[in-house]
Chain A
Amino acid sequence: MKHLLSMADLDRAGIEELLDLADHFTEVLERDIPKVPALRGATVATLFFETSTRTRLSFEKAAKALSADVLNFNPSGSSLSKGESLKDTVLTVQAMGVDVMVVRHPAVGAPARVASWVNCPVINGGDGAHQHPTQALLDALTLRRRFGKLDGLRIAIVGDIRNSRVARSNIDGFTALGALVTLVAPPTLLPLEVNSYPVATSTDLDSILGEVDVLYLLRVQLERGSGPVLPSLPEYVARFGLDRRRFGLLDKDAVVMHPGPMNRGIEIGTDVADDPRALITEQVSNGVAARMAVMFRLLSGRGQP
C-alpha cells in the first residue's frame, strides 16, 4: 500500500489487516499513557483545502499518539489565496520534509493528483463527493467491534447518498466485508445508475426499519450544486428523519450511526442521537485508532507498534 486514496483500492484482506491493526491501537489509546513511539521522528502534514474540524483533529491526535510530528496547513491565509497552484503548494510543503500527507479537498481526485506529484504517501481525507476512506475504515471498525463481523449484517444508508463521499466509501467497505447494504433516499438523492452498485435501494424508510441491523444516517443539505433537490426540509424530515417513533420500529439490537456533523431534529431526532444504541461517539473514538492504523501501515518499516 503506497497511498490510501479510495476504499475501492482495498480488497477484503487489505481492509481486515487495517482493522486488526486498528483494534490493537484502540488498546493503546486506553492505556494510562496513550502513546507509542512507532513514528517518532516522522512528520505528518495535514493539508485541508476544505474546512473540517473532526477529521483534521482526529488525524492530528492519531499522529501524536504514534509520536509523529504534525504540520497543519491552513488554506485561508495561505498562498492559495494569492493564487498559488495546488501543485506548487504541495511541492512547497514536501520540500520542508514530510513523511505522509493527509489531503482533504472539495474537488474529486485532488488527493490522487497530489499523490502523482509528491514522493511521500498520501492519505485521502475526503475529496468532493468521491471518497473518504478513513471514515469507511472507522465505521467498519465500529461495526466489527460491536457485532464481531460484518458478514450478513444488514446496513441501510439513509440520506444524501448521491453527493456523499462517506456513502461511496462505505458502500465499498461494507460490501467488501460481506454486509448487505440498502440505500434509502428520495430519488433525487439516490446515486444515478444505482443498479450498477452492489446494493438494494428503497425510497420508503418505514418499510425497511424492522429489517436492518444498522441504520447509517447522512447529513442532508437542501441546496446542492444543481439547484434544489428537495421540495423542503420539513418534507424530508417527515419521510426520512429518524424520530423517536421510527427509532421504536428498529430491531432491539439495531444500532444507529452518523459520520457527523449531525443536524439534530433533521436526519436524526433530538433524543435519538443520545440513545446508547447510537454509536456516534464510538465512531469518533475509533476514528483515531483507524487513522493510526493507516499511518502506521503506510510508514511501516519505521518500527513496530
Chain B
Amino acid sequence: MTASETASVIAIHNARVLTPAGPLDTDLTLRDAKVHSLSAGKAETHLDAGGALVGPGFVDLHCHLREPGFEWKEDIRSGARAAAAGGYTAVVAMPNTSPAIDSGHLARFVADRGREVGLVEVAPAGAITMGRAGNALAHLDELFDVGVRLFTDDGDGVADAGLLRHAMEYLAERGGVIAQHAEDPGLARGGHMHEGRVSSRLGIRGLPSLAEEVMVARDLALVALTGVRYHVMHASAQGTVDLVANAKRSGLGVTAEVTPHHISFDHSRVESMEPDFKMYPPLRTEADRAALGRALHDGTIDAVATDHAPHAPYECEVPFEEAPRGVIGLETAAAAVNTALELTPMLLFERMSVAPALICGLSSQGRWVEEGSPANLVIFDPDTSWVPESFLSKSQNSPFRGTKLRGKVLMTILRGCLTYQASS
C-alpha cells in the first residue's frame, strides 16, 4: 500500500496552521498527498483539530528500528507505529543492525520495508565502516546511490582519525553527511554513566564528558580539512555545545542534535539504578542539561533526535551495570521537549521537523504548511498533559514512563493518509 493510492480528501477544521509566515487559525483541505487549500473544501473525511497546531510531521534523525537482526526488541512495523504515534512522518533508521547497513542492498531492504509498512518514511542511514568495525570504509557509493545521505557508525565513534578522514573526503565530494557518535573509546572504557559526583558515590565506572568533547574537537579539525558536512549526534555536554558554537561561527558545515532525555534529566536519576536511565552518552550534570536546552533554544543545536533504542523488558531485568544501552523515545519526544523548554510553536516545529529534514535531505518532509506543500503533517496539542504508561513500541524502556508531560500528538498524516489518531 502506498499512501497516495488510498488517500481520501481530508478536511481539517479548527486548526492553528504553521505556515511559512507563522501560525494561522484556519481550516485546510488535503488532496492527492498535498495540502490542497487553507480552507475547508468538499471532503470525504472531516477531522476536528480543536484549535491544536497543524504543522509539518516530525522528522527523527536518529532511531533504532532494530530490523534486520534484533526483531525481538523492535521491527520496522512496530517502530513505524511508535513513530506515527509520536507525530513523526519520517525517521532515519540507524545502521547498527545485524548485519550492519554497510552496503546498498541492505539500505534498500530497510527503505523497502518502510514503504511496505507505510506508516512513516524510513530513511536508512549507512555505516561509515564495514560492519561498523572501524577498520575499512563501507560501500559508500552503493549506499549513496540508493539514497543514503547520513553516514554513521552510531553505537560507536569512528576512533581511527585516518580512516574517518578518508570517509570525510569521499562524502564531501558526494554530498553526504558524517554523523558522529562521539565517544573516545579510551576515555569511555568501561563507563556506564556520567563520570562525576554520582558515579563516584555509586562506585559505577564513569564515562566523562571529555570522551565526547575530545572526539568532536578532533573531528572538527578534520571537517576544516575536508569540507564535509558534519553532524554531532546526541550532544550531551556543555563543552560539546561550545565546540559546535565555535565551529558554526567559523563557518564550518556543522549541525547537532540533542535528545529529549538529555534536556529533561541529569545524572542524579541514576541514583535509582533503574536501567531506564542508562544511555550513551549518559545523562550528565544539571549544568549540562541546562546548557543543552539553551543551545536547542538558540539554534546552536539544530534538531531534536530521539535516539529511540528499544530493548526487550526481560533484557532490562538486570542490574544497572549489566543493562543494555539506550531508551525508547519516539512516542514521547515532542511532549518531552514541549515540557522541558518554553518554545514557540514555530521554534518547536523548526527543531522537530524543518531542521532535521534539511540535515538528512528529505525534501518532502519538514515543509511549513501552505497550498501545495506535502501532506505530511502532525496535529499537536501543546497544552494537554498526560502521563505515558505503556507504548506501541515492542519495548517499554522509557525514562518518561510515569512522568507528567505537556503536549499530545492527536493525529499524524503521511502523504494525505491518517497514520495515527489518539484515542480520546
* Given contacts A87-B317, A113-B319, A192-B196, A108 and B203 within 8 Å (CB-CB): yes
Interface positions, chain A 68-123, Cβ under 8 Å from B, are: 85-87, 105, 107-110, 112-113, 117
Q: Which of A36-44, A127-135, A253-261 contacts B (4 or more CB under 8 A)?
A: A127-135
Roughly how many angstroms separate A131 CA and B317 CA in the complex, as a whole number? 21
* Given contacts A108-B320, A113-B273, A226 and B189 within 8 Å (CB-CB): yes
Roughly how many angstroms separate A128 CA and B201 CA in the complex, as a whole number? 12
- Across the interface, B189 reaches (CB within 8 A) one of A128, A165, A225, namely A225
Q: A-facing mask of B185-201, CB < 8 A → 1, else 0? A: 01001100001110111
Pair A225/B273 contact, Cβ less than 8 Å:
no
Pair A192/B200 contact, Cβ less than 8 Å:
yes
Roughly how many angstroms separate A86 CA and B323 CA in the complex, as a whole number? 12
Pair B189/A109 contact, Cβ less than 8 Å:
no
* Given contacts A105-B319, A226-B190, A194 and B200 within 8 Å (CB-CB): yes
Interface positions, chain B 17-36, Cβ under 8 Å from A, are: none
Pair A165/B190 contact, Cβ less than 8 Å:
no
Pair B189/A86 contact, Cβ less than 8 Å:
no
Interface status of B383 (Cβ within 8 A of chain A): no
Roughly how many angstroms separate A9 CA and B154 CA in the complex, as a whole number? 39
Q: A-facing mask of B174-212, CB < 8 A → 1, else 0? A: 000000000000100110000111011111111000000
The chain A residue with its CB closest to the CB of B196 is: A193
Pair A109/B321 contact, Cβ less than 8 Å:
yes
* Given contacts A108-B273, A226-B189, A227-B189, A129 and B319 within 8 Å (CB-CB): no
Pair B203/A192 contact, Cβ less than 8 Å:
no
Interface status of B48 (Cβ within 8 A of chain A): no
The chain B residue with its CB closest to the CB of A164 is: B203
Pair A193/B205 contact, Cβ less than 8 Å:
no
Interface positions, chain B 150-193, Cβ under 8 Å from A, are: 186, 189-190
Interface status of B322 (Cβ within 8 A of chain A): yes
Task: Return B195 CB to nearest CB of chain A, in Å.
Answer: 6
Q: Which residues of B contact A207 (CB under 8 A)?
A: none
Pair B203/A163 contact, Cβ less than 8 Å:
yes
Pair A196/B321 contact, Cβ less than 8 Å:
no
How many chain B residues touch A (Cβ–Cβ < 8 Å)?
A: 22
Interface status of A173 (Cβ within 8 A of chain B): no
Interface status of A125 (Cβ within 8 A of chain B): no
* Given contacts A86-B317, A128-B203, A227-B189, A109 and B196 within 8 Å (CB-CB): no
Pair A108/B202 contact, Cβ less than 8 Å:
yes
Pair B318/A86 contact, Cβ less than 8 Å:
yes
- Across the interface, A130 reaches (CB within 8 A) one of B186, B195, B203, B206, namely B203
The chain B residue with its CB closest to the CB of A196 is: B197
Q: Which residues of A contact B320 (CB under 8 A)?
A: 107-109, 113
* Given contacts A192-B195, A192-B199, A226-B189, A113 and B205 within 8 Å (CB-CB): no
Interface positions, chain B 40-96, Cβ under 8 Å from A, are: none
Q: Which residues of B contact A112 (CB under 8 A)?
A: 273
The chain A residue with its CB closest to the CB of B206 is: A192
Pair A85/B196 contact, Cβ less than 8 Å:
no
Interface positions, chain B 318-356, Cβ under 8 Å from A, are: 318-322
Interface status of A191 (Cβ within 8 A of chain B): yes
Roughly how many angstroms separate A165 CA and B205 CA in the complex, as a whole number? 13
Interface status of A168 (Cβ within 8 A of chain B): yes
Pair A130/B190 contact, Cβ less than 8 Å:
no
- Across the interface, B190 reaches (CB within 8 A) one of A164, A168, A225, namely A225
The chain A residue with its CB closest to the CB of B203 is: A129
Roughly how many angstroms separate A85 CA and B316 CA in the complex, as a whole number? 10
Q: Which of B196, B199, B201, B322 has the most CB of A within 10 A?
A: B201
The chain A residue with its CB closest to the CB of B321 is: A107
Q: Which of B199, B205, B206, B319 has the most CB of A within 10 A?
A: B319
Q: Which of B199, B206, B320 has the most CB of A within 10 A?
A: B320
* Given contacts A113-B273, A192-B200, A226 and B319 within 8 Å (CB-CB): no
The chain B residue with its CB closest to the CB of A167 is: B203
22 contacts between A and B (CB under 8 A): A85-B317, A107-B318, A107-B319, A108-B202, A108-B273, A109-B202, A109-B273, A113-B317, A113-B319, A127-B319, A130-B202, A130-B203, A192-B195, A192-B206, A193-B197, A193-B200, A196-B197, A197-B201, A225-B190, A225-B205, A227-B186, A227-B189
- List the 7 closest pairs (A to B, CB-CB), nearest first: A129-B203, A109-B273, A107-B319, A225-B190, A130-B203, A110-B319, A107-B321
B residues lining the A interface (CB < 8 Å): 186, 189-190, 195-197, 199-206, 273, 314, 317-322
Beyond the given pairs A109-B320, A128-B203, A192-B195, 6 more chain A to chain B contacts, judged by CB atoms under 8 angstroms and listed by A's residue number, are A86-B319, A87-B317, A107-B319, A130-B203, A131-B203, A197-B201
